[in-house]
A and B are shown apart, each in its own frame.
Chain A
Amino acid sequence: MMPDLGWERGSDDLPRAHLPPERLPSGVAALRQAGFDYLICLSGVDRGEARQVVYHLRDTARHREVALYVDVPSRREEVPSLTDQFRAADWPEREVYDLFGVRFAGHPDLRRILLPETFLGHPLRKDYREDDPEVAPEGEPELPAAPDEMWINVGPQHPSTHGVFRMLLKLSGETVEGCRPCIGYLHRGFEKLAERRDYVQYQPYPDRWDYLAAMNNEHAYVGAVERLMQLEVPRRAEYLRVLATELNRVASHLLWLGTFLLDLGAMSPFLYTFREREMIMELFNELSGARMTYNYLRIGGAAHDLTPELARQIRAFLPYFHRRLAEYEALISDNEIFLARVRGVGLLPPDEALNRGASGPLLRASGVDWDLRRDRPYGAYPELSFQVATASTWDLHGRYLVRLAEMRESCRLVEQVLDGLPEGPHRAKVPVRVRPPAGDTYFAVESPRGELGVFLIGDGTDHAWRLKIRAPSFMNLMSLEPMLQGHLAADAIAILGSIDILLGEVDR
């Protein structure tokens, strides 16, 4: 049963309700009662005269989604925090505070998250002026250290933080007793950029959100724009998108596998997985003309068609890759040291994973059978057959097995695309100036790292009023702290690696 919050239908067919701030906690509690167990996305919006916070919630068992719109009172810009109901609200609320200046009453640790603590102003507000002074005179944030505590600073320059991630670990001996993650070193303002470029101009940017799964990012962006303008995409294009994104998933998982083993101290798999990843990059180079920032998926379809020669190459790659996968498994899967390092380490129980907004392989390895490709189908996925891999061990081993299985499934999908590629155009007729009607839409794809969503608000012009990126790495990183508790420093690195974060996407 749905609690009655005054639902209406939005432009994207999602039930939505407008709530005053004081009714938000009870409304969300009622929704939780009704089975809504997942906070998908928490976005701040500046409507011009007032701020707004938008909550997307999901019922994973019954596949229902709703959106809640809360207008922030303009006298005192504060809304109740949801952190006591959804831990997933923690960082997103900090982000809204950081970028919009909206305060959340009851938030345990309301600090800036993406921008330095000394930053002045809130840059996603429409009244923010770029030529205002940006930062207060530099001050070093205090270490939360009592004299007898041992805090060790890991990152942002550290071999195993996978980029400019920084975490402060509180150690007792080598046991981790606490963790304070710090992010934002790679914040490049992609959400603000979307308000200054028109829809077509913005197309190359998603490549840079998560540069290891650029195709999947493109898919999320163009998908959202297409849904907003209600554009029909040719079937051939949808198939090409599956081809590109699934190959990209394999490439991304390969990189994860190599670096994860490197985190565990095994150096060779890294070089092996890069060999196969390189071949996929070459295929992408043929397909799109670029190795990293493809700009291949365009609004209305794909930039180029698949040539028969390239199809032949991809077809030849698949059996080769299966052999290599078997090789990896022979090297890694039964290795006693590997198993000792990954079994029972970094446990994330399913309810905790859902509550903290985890998604993708991290969520599935915690035993939650959820995959957007199957459960919120988009593109050509309803016409293709594939298995969703899950694991019930909740640990690092499960995450390894899930990603390995996903690589196999992605290959199966690629094979099906090659077999059943429909004839027709690879791109719809799209006007030179893309001008979707005013409206809101949330579109999400299953990226290699999890649910990559784009919450897009159009105002009828040729550029977005607001584009919010629901970054899976950002959300998954919130599960780091509970997983670390009580493990050793070496495990902390492995657990961090198992989440598969990408700082470009965490910080955006």
Chain B
Amino acid sequence: MGQPYLRLAAAALILAAFVLGTAAFLVWFERKLLGRMQVRPGPNRVGPGGLLQPVADILKLTVKEDILPEHADRPLFRLAPLMAFVPAFAAFVVLPFGPGLVSADLNIGLLWILAVSTVSVLALIAAGWASNSKYALLGGMRAAAQMISYEVPLVLSLIGVVLAAGSLRLGRIVAAQAHLWFAVPQVLGFIVYLIAATAESNRSPFDLPEGESELVAGFHTEYSGVRFAFFFLAEYSYVFLAAAIATLAFLGGWSGPFLPPVVWFLVKTYAVIFFIIWLRATLPRIRIDQLLSFGWKVLLPLSLVNIFLVGLFRFI
């Protein structure tokens, strides 16, 4: 009886370590990359090439004072960072890093990731609401409006993939791309997915929930210390997740010549992450009304067109 639970706990621990490690590495990766794009060195003191900078940051954050704003909604305020992080963790459970390299090979893997990651918006709303701050509240409301609007094209853009692969299981989706990456026939869906996924993970130019030029830091304005670190790590976990799904659903997953599958998977995922960071270094922030109308009036029709085209080709 104890055996499976022990294994479960061990798997969870390993996964948690991996998620945290990935998020921390991404922080370094982004800072280094942004530095290079902005003619400055980026972190370069702690560890080789500043590699240990995120570790130092997290250490710093853990010893910093944890501030609870006056008249805050205490239970919700405390819960929100966890709510942000747990769904990311749950989504990683079904993420395959190579053939068979997966914690739980759910036959609805893709749907599971989508479903679970939508829950994270509740955390942003909770943070915005519980902080008893107008900036945070506006950020939380923005997050809600943005997530709802971009979830629709996000899901629809992936429906084309599911349609073509005939399965929701991520392994099968990868296998279906043995000859041709879905990014080629479904280029429309790929573009819609990339944009919607960037918006879903609140990344520039869609980082309105924390748009610092007007909302200071949006929903996490009032957060400090460890709780802030959790939001931070959650954001980067979602970036990795978004890139990983792009890899699995559109870029042929782990398939590739010569190198071992895991390496291919990581290479492609990091290429997508590079693109997302590149966007941040290049683009100004979009405005909330433009964001919403872009989501509903451009991305949604485009994703529908993509589904229609995929269906048409399947039919012929």
Touch between chains A and B, by CB atoms below 8 Å? yes
Q: Is A290 an interface residue (CB 8 A)?
A: no
- Beta-carbon contacts of B200-220 to A below 8 Å, as 1s and 0s? 000011011001111110000
Whether the Cβ atoms of A265 and B39 lie closer than 8 Å is no
A322 interfacial by beta-carbon distance below 8 Å: no
Q: List 11 A-B contacts (CB under 8 A).
A: A152-B134, A160-B214, A266-B283, A267-B38, A337-B205, A337-B285, A341-B285, A488-B287, A488-B288, A488-B289, A490-B288
Secondary structure class of chain B's binding surface, majority of residues: helix
Contact, CB under 8 Å: A340 / B213? no
Closest to A266 in B: B284
Q: Which of A160, A266, A271, A493 contacts B39 (CB 8 A)?
A: A271
Answer yes or no: B290 CB below 8 A from chain A CBs: yes
- Give the docked Cα–Cα distance between A272 and B37 (Å): 10
User: How far is it, in angstroms, between the C-alpha of A22 and the C-alpha of B124 when the chains are bound?
Assistant: 61
| Residues of chain A within 8 A of B107, CB atoms compared | none
| A-B CB contacts (within 8 Å), total count | 85
| Complex Cα–Cα for A266 and B280 (A) | 8
- Give the Cβ gap from A338 to chain B, nearest Cβ, in Å: 5
Q: Check A152/B38 contact, CB under 8 A, given A159-B213, A264-B213, A265-B285.
A: no
State in angstroms the CA–CA spacing of A160 and B283 once bound together.
18
Q: Mark B27-62, 1 if CB is under 8 A from A, else 0.
A: 000000010011110000000000000000000000
- Residues of B72-104 contacting chain A, CB below 8 A: none
Size class of the contact patch on chain A: 20 to 34
- Residue contact B284 to A341, C-beta cutoff 8 Å: yes
Q: Give the Cβ gap from B90 to chain A, nearest Cβ, in Å.
A: 31
- The 3 A-B pairs at the shortest CB distance, nearest first, are namely A265-B285, A266-B284, A264-B284
Is residue B282 within 8 Å, beta carbon to beta carbon, of the partner chain? yes
Contacts of A150 on B, CB cut-off 8 Å?
134
In the complex, A266 Cα to B281 Cα: how many Å? 7
Give the secondary structure class of A's interface.
helix
**Contact at B138–A174, with CB atoms within 8 Å?**
yes
Of the candidates A154, A265, A331, A335, the one whose C-beta lies within 8 Å of that of B207 is: A265
Knowing A160-B213, A160-B214, A340-B290 are in contact, say whether A335-B283 is a contact too (CB < 8 A). Answer: yes
Complex CA gap A331/B282 in Å reads: 8
- Name which residue of chain B comes closest to A153, CB basis: B134
- B213/A262 in contact, CB under 8 A: yes
The reply to whether B213 and A490 form a contact with Cβ atoms under 8 Å apart is yes
Indicate if the CB atoms of A490 and B40 lie closer than 8 Å. Answer: no
Asked if A158 lies at the interface with its beta carbon under 8 angstroms from chain B, I say: yes
Q: In the docked arrangement, what's the CA distance between A1 and B76, Å?
A: 72
Chain B residues positioned under 8 Å from A507 (CB to CB): none
Please indicate the chain B residues that have their CB under 8 angstroms from the CB of A154 in the complex: 214
Assess whether B135 is interfacial by the CB under 8 Å rule.
yes
- Residue contact B38 to A490, C-beta cutoff 8 Å: no
Residues of A close to B211: CB separation below 8 A: 265, 490
Q: Name the B residues within 8 Å of A158 (CB-CB).
A: 216
Residue A492 CB within 8 A of the other chain: yes
CA distance A491 to B287 in the complex (A): 8
Q: Which residues of B contact A490 (CB under 8 A)?
A: 208, 211, 213-214, 285, 287-288
Query: In the complex, which of the residues A263, A268, A494 contacts B38, with contact meaning CB atoms closer than 8 Å?
Result: A268
Do A489 and B38 have beta carbons less than 8 Å apart? no
Q: Give the CA-CA distance A469 to B37 in the complex, in Å.
A: 42
